[in-house]
Amino acid sequence: MPAEAKTFNSDSGYSEQNSWHFATGSAGQTNARLSAKSLLEQGCDCLISWGVAGALDPQLTVGDLIVTSAVINDRSESFKFDSDDLKSLVETFRSLDPKVGGLLYSAEKPVPLAIEKQELREKFRAESVDMESAAIAKVACDAKINFIAVRCIVDRSDYDLPVAATSSFKNNGEVNVFQLIKELTQNPLQLFSLMRLGLNYYSALRQLKKAAALLQRCL
């Protein structure tokens, strides 16, 4: 997503710093798959899924940094990669107290309700949820290269996302302003929950920016 890419000061489609390439994609597994395949064409030998995630584990809170190489999708296809790259990233992010190795579930659509998060937790035993990592992991698996997910928690497992946020959010990461206004007009009380989500999101982005700075020092 563009805002998450900016934590690397890289909001264009592609950029290169030393031996690192960055691809900015839209939300969802289809878009993530296309971005991952584009990176393969750049000669990458490890794919990192970078961005935000929701918590399924009640112990996780907003701002927690997740570093894992184990993901699963809606079809119960699981991918797990063992590599020195994961250990290296964990050491790089040590000052941020990363949460390491938990299973990350990738959904086909947003998971807005706390009850849905609880059901996914029980079904998959996953600790967090996003919409891209499993697709990127599959591309890495097919290409026989390494994969790591670095994700920052933006909403707790007991938090219901406001309808205004999920219904007005477009695949390219932008907000449909007219839909947002419509939702808020119908239910003005959502404004408070929406503001909270916005604050959480910027907190997660700040944490990702710290992680990016640590990573770039190692380049």
pLDDT digits (tens, 9 = 90+) for 119-128: 999 999 999 9
Q: What is the model's pLDDT at position 50?
A: 93
Q: List pLDDT tens digits, range 78-105.
A: 999 987 888 888 999 999 999 998 999 9
Residue length of the chain: 219
**pTM as predicted:** 0.85
Which H or E element spans position 216?
Answer: helix 190-217
Contact 71, 105 (CB under 8 A): yes
| Structural domains counted in the chain | 1
Q: Give the pLDDT of residue 82.
A: 80
Q: Which residue has the higher pLDDT, 87 or 30?
A: 87
- Domain of 160: which CATH number? 3.40.50.1580
Separation between Cα atoms, residue 106 and residue 131, nearest integer Å: 5
Q: Is the pLDDT of residue 199 over 90?
A: yes
Indicate the angle between helix axes 133-143 and 29-41, nearest 10 degrees: 40
Domain that holds residue 12: 2-217
